[in-house]
């Protein structure tokens, strides 16, 4: 089932964005990565980890949020501090990851996949995982997109495609986005 779901997600992404944004989604990578096209005829490539639905949705979320200039840069020009971040470094990471993870959650709801917050810092955390502030920020952002703030255009298109394909009509209902529902 997961393999079929991932194939459908990849197909939906391709049908919507391969021609219009010259971008393809590729699974099976050891690590997620975005590579812009560097030659004529080459597509921009979004690589997601192994064959994980969560990784695909997360990388799509980053792509949907990245502006035109960022989409010209490897990994959108973002820094990456490896596992083992300090408390201050983790706070910077969490601030940068609130919107992508909120969007990933919305995509997960649309395709019936469980969302898990990722602190991405197993060696650096000495508590029970992602901070409550980070988790609440993700909830608040998802609710904001449901209630007032418009979704970024590519995100809105992809969310609509996922919702249609997976038969999830109330994806933008804030009842889905409660702190108690975060795994």
- Residues 142-173 pLDDT 10s: 999 999 889 999 999 999 999 999 999 788 88
Which phi and psi angles does 47 have, rounded to 5°?
-100, 135
Residue 105 to residue 82: CA distance in whole angstroms: 23
Residue 130 to residue 119: CA distance in whole angstroms: 5
Range list of β-strands (E), 21-176: 23-29, 33-35, 44-49
Give the Cβ contact number of residue 86 at 10 Å: 11
Residue 167: partners with Cβ closer than 8 Å, 6 or more residues away: none
| pLDDT of 129 | 66
**Could you tell me the residue ranges of all domains in the chain?**
2-77, 87-181
- Quick check: 50 pLDDT over 80? yes
Place of tokens 């810092």: 121
- Quick check: 183 pLDDT over 90? no
| pLDDT of 53 | 96
Please state the pTM of the whole predicted model: 0.90
Residue 159 to residue 103: CA distance in whole angstroms: 9
């Amino acid at each position: 089932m997961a393999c079929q779901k991932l194939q459908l997600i990849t197909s939906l992404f391709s049908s919507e964005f391969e021609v219009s944004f010259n971008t393809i989604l590729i699974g099976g990578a050891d690590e997620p990565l975005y590579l812009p096209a560097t030659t004529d005829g080459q597509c921009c490539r979004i690589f997601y980890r192994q064959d994980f639905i969560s990784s695909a949705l997360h990388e799509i979320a980053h792509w949907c949020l990245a502006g035109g200039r960022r989409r010209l840069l490897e990994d959108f020009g973002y820094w990456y501090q490896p596992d083992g971040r300090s408390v201050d470094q983790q706070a910077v990471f969490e601030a940068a990851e609130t919107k992508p993870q909120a969007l990933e959650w919305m995509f997960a709801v649309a395709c019936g996949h469980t969302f898990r917050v990722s602190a991405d810092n197993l060696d650096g955390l000495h508590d029970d995982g992602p901070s409550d502030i980070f988790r609440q920020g993700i909830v608040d952002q998802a609710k904001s997109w449901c209630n007032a703030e418009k979704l970024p255009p590519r995100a809105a298109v992809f969310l609509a495609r996922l919702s249609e394909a997976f038969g999830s009509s109330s994806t933008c209902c804030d009842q889905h986005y409660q702190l108690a529902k975060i795994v």
